Amino acid sequence: MVVFSIETLPSVGSTNDVVRERALAGAPEGLVVRAVEQLAGRGRHGRGWGSPPGNLYLSLLLRPERPLAEAATLSLVIGLSLAEAIADAAGPSLGLRLKWPNDLLAGGAKLAGILLENVSTDTARPVIVAGLGVNLRVAPEGLPYPATTLRALGLEITPEGLLERLLGQIDRDYALWQAAGFGALRGRWLERAQGLGEPASVRVGERTISGRFVDVDEAGRLVLEGEAGRRTLSAGEVFFASEAAL
């Protein structure tokens, strides 16, 4: 069981940066820093992420006992926890889907994102900062893809209300992951997987790899099936037929 310690700040550059500093100073697992707004929020690949007031922005410190090679699957685990926490509040009507490796969608539009960072040099004992941004009332503008909010989907919930539900779900899922790895949660993740069974293109650096998205394995890797057989990918950006690969 994780003992969570929640600190709320009115405005920060990035909650991940705050928790990173606390982690390096020896802060214990379970530290949660939530911000009313972020001035320099970021997503994958260093992209900016608009963070106006009204949404949920937080970073969580985890000190897992599993090695760094497995810790990357925590983005999948936390995404699953978030989807189930929201579904618990709203019911199944939202049709929430998990897009590998770290996005939560509703109706094909982005609702939330997760950014995982390791701040340890010890690969046997990683120190993970997990940042989350959830659009409760405001969706960022100027994105190359559609975004939505829980309010637009008919769910009114405060950042504090969602945070309480989320941490309870993370506590349960993280304990299961610690005991048995991602394989113990894989089936639940696949039930919510966006695009499973559909043609997909994955951009990895300057390359684009195409095939049919058939699985996510126990190591959290995306499995594509193409003319040359099956291929597993541990990183990349996924685009389905309905999306423009910008």
Residue 244 has pLDDT above 50, yes or no: no
Q: Look up the domain containing 234 and give its range.
A: 199-240
Q: 186 with 203, same domain? A: no
User: Is pTM, for the whole model, over 0.75?
Assistant: yes
91 in a structural domain: yes
pLDDT tens for each residue of 8-47 = 999 999 999 999 999 999 999 999 999 999 786 555 545 5
- CATH of residue 230: 2.30.30.100
Q: 107 with 204, same domain? A: no
245 in a structural domain: no
Name the pLDDT band for 49 (thresholds 50, 70, 90). Answer: low
Q: 55 with 165, same domain? A: yes
pLDDT tens for each residue of 189-224 = 999 999 999 999 999 999 999 999 999 999 999 999
Query: How far apart, in whole angstroms, are the C-alpha atoms of residue 209 and residue 204?
Result: 8
Number of domains in the chain: 2
Q: 62 with 123, same domain? A: yes
- CATH of residue 99: 3.30.930.10
Q: What is the mean pLDDT of the chain?
A: 92
